[in-house]
Structures are given as structure tokens and as C-alpha cells.
Structure 1
Amino acid sequence: MTPSTADHQPQMLVEEFEELARNAPELVRLEFIDGKVVVKPVPDGNHIEAIAWLQQVCMQHRPDLWLYAERELKIEEYRKGRARTDATLAPRRHFVGTGEWAEPDGVLMTVEVTSHDRDTNRRDRVDKPRGYAAAGIPVYLLIDREAGSVTVYADPEKGEYRSVTTRAFGVASELPEPVGFTLETDELKEFAD
């Protein structure tokens, strides 16, 4: 087996990963990306506050939708794996009757907030946009605490988002349909690093 072939061999089956993730200690969060187990740090206080703030904003603008914190999605179209979103916007009661790992169908927006770890660049700025676009999720919102900016990815086609707009914290960002409201980002300055 050549090294390049070995690099694409999954470490384990998806079912084995799901069992491992179910029994992982609360100090870590696990994802299954391109057949490999990835350890994601537990969110810090500013990370949690950014998601709580966004939940409140979404409820004000779109009471028909719910922003679910830390939702597990099957993102198999591109990543052949499992991703834990920091937040997922979907119609209320959308996940009733689903298992721990839900299909991305019907999800309107995924949200990631950058963390303090060496993998955040690749995970949040490269892999997740590709994976979410390949799954057909209409909008991906990246709250980049390190850069002090919000990036809105929209209009997925052929595994890529055709529209990518970055604005500094404090500058309003449009969340296009099917989300459909303007996000005032001034308060995010409090959660920057």
C-alpha cells in the first residue's frame, strides 16, 4: 500500500466513531472528518456567549426558526464523516424523532465560532464550508473571533459556496434567504479574542 493510499483509508467505520463519540469524556468533542477522528476543544465562555447572543437575535428576527446549539449532522457528501456544528438554524421541531446524528436536509444555516486551537483554520475556514456546501446547506455563518469578523457563505453549488462576504465586527451582515435578515454585529466585539 502506498502512503497516498494509506492516507485515504478511514481510521474506523462511521458506526465505530459514533460509539466512540457517545462515550468520550466531556472535556473533548469529537468529529469524524475524511475518515479520521478529530478532537475539538470544549468551547470557552466567549464562544458560548457568542452562540447565546445569536440564538436571541435569531428568535427576534425569525421566531418560526430555532437555533440549535451543538447539533450533530451527517455531512457525508464531501467529508464522509460527522460534524458537530456550533449551532444549526432549522424550523422549530425539525429534529424531533431524529437520532444523535441527523441528516442535513432542511437545515437553513450552520454556524461556527472560531476556537483557540491549531486546527481552527482548516476546520472552520476550509473543511466546514466545503462540507456544508456539498450537503446543500444554504447559509454558513462563520464568527471569526481571531479576525474580528463575520463571514457569510451562501448559494451552494457543486460543493462550494458561490457567495462569500466578510465584514468586520460592528458592520452589518446580510443573511440571505432562506434566513433572510440583517445581522447587526456590534455586540460581537465583546466576544473577540
Structure 2
Amino acid sequence: MLLTKFQKALAAKFSLKNLGAPTHFLGIEIVPTQSGLFLTQHHYIRDLLHSNNMHEAKPVTTPQATTCDLATTGDASTCDITIYRKLVGSLQYLSLTIPDIAFSVNKLSQYMQAPTGLHMQVAKRILRYLKGTIDFGLHLRKSNSLQLHAFCDLDWAGDSRDMKSTGAYIVYLGSNPISWSCKKQTTVPKSSTKA
């Protein structure tokens, strides 16, 4: 009722065309479900896998290995910087509907100036993770709850080069994630409280 009135008020002042319910928005597929909306980017993931020759790669269950130290020095000539930047940019876009890759993509983004073969391997591991989770996305459910829940974590001095931590958070409104971020801190924390 309110939406119809709003549309009529806009149509009185502007030329409007009602295209119906959205199915795609900026590469994100919007699928209505009985309990809400499902947002997915599986077409974008398929295209990304094909353009990087990873469509037949073996899937993995995590986006990044826990033992991988990206700060180790390596030969930057073993990595095509243009391909690396394009891939990491695409992965950043995918974190809109797949927040579980945000931490790994943030770590890779810190090496845009001089990536090595190791950094490209980690980026390709994320592609392998996406291959196994291609149908994942965000399910936004109808809810009457307006309770906010926030969770945060950080890797304590995770960068061995400058001892800075990378922190991440996710905020839920009811059962729906509404905001998330992963960011390297600007200062070196002296305690876990400051971090």
C-alpha cells in the first residue's frame, strides 16, 4: 500500500517504468525464497574461474591455509602484476556476498605493489575455495527482530613485517548480516585491549 502510493507520487513528477521485482543488480543475482531473498554471484564466480583457467581445479574447504606467511620475501618477477591486481579486485567484489573470503582478500590486497608467486598461489587457492562453494551466498530472511549482534576478531600482530594486526567484524540485524569489514590496523597495538 505504502509502496504503491510512493510509486504514484514519483510517477506524477517523473517518467517511470515499473520493471517488476529485480532479478539481478550489479552482477548479484537476487532469488526470492519463501523466507526472504537469496543473494548470490555464482555466474560471476563461474566466469572468474574460466578466465583464470581454474574451472577444472580441485576445490578446497578453506580460503587460506593457516600456515601461510604472506610476508615472506620472494621473487616479484614470477607474478604478472596486472593479472594479480585484476584477480584480487574481482575477489574484493565477490566479498559482497561471500564475507568469509574478506580476511584472505584483505591480506592479498596488502601486496598489490609487488606480488610474488606465493601471493598468486594464495589468490588461486581462494578461487579453488569458491569452486567448492559456488552456490553459497547471503540468505536475507524476513524477521521481526531488530536486535543488533556484532562479532569481531583480529590476528594478533599478524604481519611479521610491521607487527600490525588485521581486524575484522560482522554485524547482524536479527539473523541477517548487514555490515562486515576486514582492515589492517594503522598502529601497532601494545596490548590485546588496544588491538
**TM-score class normalised by the smaller sequence:** under 0.3
User: Under a length normalisation based on structure 1, what TM-score does the superposition of the two structures give?
Assistant: 0.25
More RCO (CA 8 Å, sep 6+): 2
User: Under a length normalisation based on structure 2, what TM-score does the superposition of the two structures give?
Assistant: 0.25
More helix by share: 2
More strand by share: 1
| Structure of higher CA gyration radius | 2
